A and B are shown apart, each in its own frame.
Chain A
């Protein structure tokens, strides 16, 4: 597609439950990024993929967060045993391998942990 698609738009989970978020990058884009936006405007980088391979995972809280980008499937970000502080908007972005490397963002998934 021509836009980054994210589902669901909203997700509510009780503390300790699992949450799974999905992202479909723009067709032809090789890179996928996940960012977490908390406290209105603070963006935190989580992980990036080059095709189905993890490119950089320096921002991932590894004990509870995991992510995948499998061929012919949307990318996913999964949070096991959610905590209250995981409440945030999670954005996915994609960019091409070549050219200007401009990142295009999806509409985000708002996760609320109660």
Chain B
């Protein structure tokens, strides 16, 4: 059974810092990995999706990397801003004989960027 872990659970940084959020998964047979952002009381916003064949994806100040063999992904946020404050969730879709497409989520990292 796939398990996804995110470290740290919470992170507080001053504005302008670069930061890294970590995600690890136990089953390396994944189809893809998605990073989401969730604001309090809101839904999930998809930030980046990395296919299993890819090493990284970039969008603006965000860069996500994937090391499938070691079961790890990182989300790098450059020049953090108070508006980046949110919970960041990592989710993987496994490859299975039944072609299951659902995501398995980590428990998230709650990020606070202080002005």
Task: List residues of A whose CB falls within 8 A of some B CB.
Answer: 31, 33, 35, 40-43, 45, 48, 55-56, 58-59, 91, 93, 95, 100-108
Contact = CB atoms under 8 A, between A and B. Distances in A.
A41 B93 contact: no
Interface in B49-95: 49, 51, 87, 89, 91, 93
Given A102-B34, A103-B46, 6 more contacts: A48-B101, A48-B102, A56-B98, A105-B43, A105-B46, A107-B43
Nearest to A107: B43
B102 A107 contact: no
Interface in B4-33: 31-32
Name A's interface SS.
strand
A74 B45 CA distance: 21
A103 B105 CA distance: 13
Contacts, number: 61
Contact of A103 (B34, B42, B98, B107): B34
B32 A100 contact: yes
Contacts of A40: 108
Interface of B: 31-32, 34, 36, 42-46, 49, 51, 87, 89, 91, 93, 98, 100-105, 107-108
A45 B43 contact: no
A3 to B, nearest CB: 9
A55 B100 CA distance: 8
Given A41-B87, A41-B108, A42-B107, A101 B101 contact: yes
Nearest to A92: B43
Contacts of B51: 100
B89 A45 contact: no
24 contacts: A31-B101, A35-B103, A40-B108, A41-B87, A41-B89, A41-B105, A41-B107, A42-B107, A43-B103, A43-B105, A56-B101, A56-B102, A59-B102, A91-B43, A93-B103, A100-B32, A100-B51, A101-B32, A101-B93, A102-B32, A102-B46, A104-B46, A105-B36, A108-B43
Given A41-B108, A100-B51, A55 B101 contact: yes
Contact of B44 (A42, A100, A101, A105): A105
